[in-house]
Chain A
Amino acid sequence: DAGVTQSPTHLIKTRGQHVTLRCSPISGHKSVSWYQQVLGQGPQFIFQYYEKEERGRGNFPDRFSARQFPNYSSELNVNALLLGDSALYLCASSLAVGQRGPGYNEQFFGPGTRLTVL
Chain B
Amino acid sequence: QKEVEQNSGPLSVPEGAIASLNCTYSDRVSQSFFWYRQYSGKSPELIMSIYSNGDKEDGRFTAQLNKASQYVSLLIRDSQPSDSATYLCAVNKGGSYIPTFGRGTSLIVHP
Q: Beta-carbon contacts of B32-50 to A below 8 Å, as 1s and 0s?
A: 1010100000111110010
A109–B44 contact, CB under 8 A? Answer: yes
User: How many residues on chain A are close to B (CB under 8 Å)?
Assistant: 26
B65 to chain A minimum Cβ distance, whole angstroms, is: 13
The one of B42, B49, B98 in contact with A48, judged by C-beta atoms closer than 8 angstroms, is B98
State A90–B103 Cα separation when bound (angstroms).
15
B88 contacts partner chain A, Cβ-Cβ < 8 Å: yes
A42–B43 contact, CB under 8 A? Answer: no
State A83–B3 Cα separation when bound (angstroms).
27
The one of B43, B44, B97 in contact with A97, judged by C-beta atoms closer than 8 angstroms, is B97
The one of A42, A56, A98, A102 in contact with B104, judged by C-beta atoms closer than 8 angstroms, is A42
State A41–B8 Cα separation when bound (angstroms).
9
Instruction: Identify which of B99, B102, B103, B104 gathers the most chain A CB atoms within 10 Å of its CB.
Output: B99
State A106–B100 Cα separation when bound (angstroms).
13
A106–B42 contact, CB under 8 A? Answer: no
Collect the chain B residues with CB atoms within 8 Å of residue A101's CB.
51
Beyond A102-B49, A102-B51, A106-B34, whether A90 also contacts B43 by CB under 8 A is yes
State A100–B92 Cα separation when bound (angstroms).
11
Task: Give chain A's interface residues, CB within 8 Å of chain B.
Answer: 33, 35, 40-45, 48, 55-56, 88, 90, 97-98, 100-102, 105-112
7 additional A-B residue pairs with CB within 8 Å, beyond A45-B99, A100-B31, A107-B46: A35-B101, A42-B101, A42-B102, A55-B97, A56-B96, A109-B44, A112-B42
Task: Give chain B's interface residues, CB within 8 Å of chain A.
Answer: 4, 8, 31-32, 34, 36, 42-46, 49, 51, 88, 90, 92, 96-104
